[in-house]
Amino acid sequence: MFAIGNLVRKSGAVAFGVVLGAGMVLSAGISLGALQDPGGAMRVSGDRSNTVKSAIVEGTPTYVDNVILMIGDGMGDSEITIARNYAYGAGGLLPGLDSLTFTGTYTTYSLQKNGLPDYATDSAASATGFATGVKTFDGAIGIDIKGTVQQSLLAKAKAAGKRTGNVTTDTIYGATPASQVAHVANRKCAGPATAASSCANTTQNAPAGKSDLLDKGGPGSISEQLVQTKPDVVIGGGNDVFEKQKVKAGAWSGQLMKNYAMGVGYNYQTSWSGLYAAPGTPVMGLLSSSTMPTRFADTASKAVKGGAKKSAISCTLNSTTRPTLKDLTQKAVSLLSGGSGFFLQVEGALIDKRAHAHDVCGQIGETLDFDEAVQYALEFAKSNGRTLVIVTADHGHASQIVDSSPPGLSVKVRTLEGADMIVSYGTASGTQQHTGTQVRIGAYGPGAANVVGVIDQTDVHNIIARALGLTTVTTPSMSLVTPTVTGASSGGPKVGDTLRATGEPTGLAVSYQWKRNGVDIPLATTLAYKVTIDDAGAYLTVSAKAGSATTSSTAQLVQKGTATMTAKLADSTISTKTAPKVTVSLAVKNAPSPASGQVTINWGLSSYTHTLIPGDKGKFSYTMPKLPKGKYTVSVTYSGSSQVTGASKSLSLKVS
């Protein structure tokens, strides 16, 4: 007797059941006996028609509070089979992926910019398809082939008052998580410091500056738009952008991305212990600088030419540990539960990345990691009763089980049954390519039957939107343009100017809401809004809602307030026995008062930085150390803040 994953096989028979629906057990799944016996490999015992019929639950908003969409990146049927064979045996069953109530397949093709099919998609185009319901070209995130912004499921759920979450083992600015929060023409536009060439946008409806970068007039990089969209729970890798890159335009210009995230309210964490302890939302847990570590080490497991003729390898655990995708999913669900429902996307991203690297063990480990997360989602859905779980992939990949040594790359793996399995990677001599195959989709819960048959990736969007009661198509007449400004002076809108939303629909009852840095402004619920002192340096955004359709304008940057600084020496000529004393006074106009930020006094030999606090009321004094003889220039610099411009003064000092 020996263990295979969660199964125990003895003499070919397997004791294992598949729980279906509300406690129903579907006897099919694992082979019924010894594989060599007549009928031993059969997975179905008896007629299942009534069992399947009784599992169908209507998927209207009346029955669904929550949706968990789970994406195994690059997880085609071949990748699933390889993982199953390795960990559970040829007649075994993946406890999560293979136990979904209803299964079907969906087509994954993307489009060329001329509208013709691109038969093998990339992750960005496919994710945009299921996130927005609209097909697009490879590399595009959240836009159609003309560059028109398309609203995602996460954005629609958030607008409808649902809590939202985005979990991945990739960087949080990777293609799949990005599709729910951003709109860029190039998936490589990760952060504000990304090269301009990777953020260029030459689509028909591109921003005026033909760039998606915020400092060039675009909506911002993926990471910036993530913060703007503000899902309640964000978990993944990619803290390199947030720890090292600074915002280059807008209210948070000059600030690190992590400060921007914390500034809009996120509890920002970079460790599992910190994230695990997070008591509520919004929370952002970026647990690695890049992608997460894989479950299995990739040492010696990459396929090579002639690899099938070499000794079989076994997979070993990675020495670098991380929380499992199940852990991350469980934390996200616990934070999102308890409100008016939620939408959560969970991605097992590294199946794809390890398949690109023809790393069979890495690929297997990530598929098993994903399967465990699926098991948890199904457990939650079963106990909750009002949750729809949909599990699928964004595209197929290159790995294939073959019978003998192929001409391309291959590797022989010893499965936990004790048999050898040859896996071929034949799409390239190095980095492998995606395949254009249709992929599996499975579901559990109210509305699960909608995935049966052959559907398309874009159908996933509408299945979920209908289940949650969201609008399935953005109403064209609801499209807003950048707010116009009435009575603005040169240099941009100022306090007292009026912003007005334009492009409002006719024949519809429309409600408006103005926001300051993403937070609702009380009573600012009309078409026009008059800029106040509190708005200096902030982003003002207007959203419009007609029925269940919601859209937002491009954020309008309001000019910063100005600072006037006076700085004086108690005496400009002193002896070496006297310590120089500087008095600083700051006054601000068209901004909240008193001033905040830092003032630095530099006299060449050294410097002192004073952080302003409300009790200062913009004034403070500093006594410098005694200085040797000489002439000094004392520079006093106010660095400014998100709402106030900086200021500087130079003072002459003689020490004799």
User: Active-site positions?
Assistant: 123
Query: Nearest CA to 131 among 150, 113, 149, 117?
Result: 150
Which residue is associated with the tokens 């958030």?
Answer: 158
Answer positive or negative: Cα dihedral of 423, 428, 431, 435: negative
Name the burial class of residue 120, with classes exposed (0-12), middle (13-18) and buried (19+) by CB atoms within 10 angstroms of its CB: middle
Q: N- to C-terminal Cα distance for the chain?
A: 93
> Cα-flanking dihedrals φ and ψ of residue 496, to 5°?
100, -20
Given the DSSP bridges, would you call strands 511-516 and 519-520 parallel, antiparallel or unpaired?
A: antiparallel
Whether 239 and 285 have beta carbons less than 8 Å apart is answered as: no
**Pair of tokens at residue 459:** 């159908």
> Cα-flanking dihedrals φ and ψ of residue 130, to 5°?
-80, -20
Q: How far is CA 517 from CA 45, 466, 483, 522, 538, in A?
A: 60, 31, 16, 13, 6
Here the contacts of 381-384 (C-beta below 8 Å, separation 24 or greater) are 381/66, 381/68, 381/444, 381/445, 382/19, 382/22, 382/444, 384/65, 384/66
Given the DSSP bridges, would you call strands 539-546 and 549-552 parallel, antiparallel or unpaired?
A: antiparallel
Whether 500 and 486 have beta carbons less than 8 Å apart is answered as: yes
Helix 457-468 to helix 123-132 angle (10° resolution) is 30
DSSP 8-state class, residue 148? -
CA–CA separation, 121 and 119 (whole Å): 6
The H or E element containing residue 68 is strand 66-72
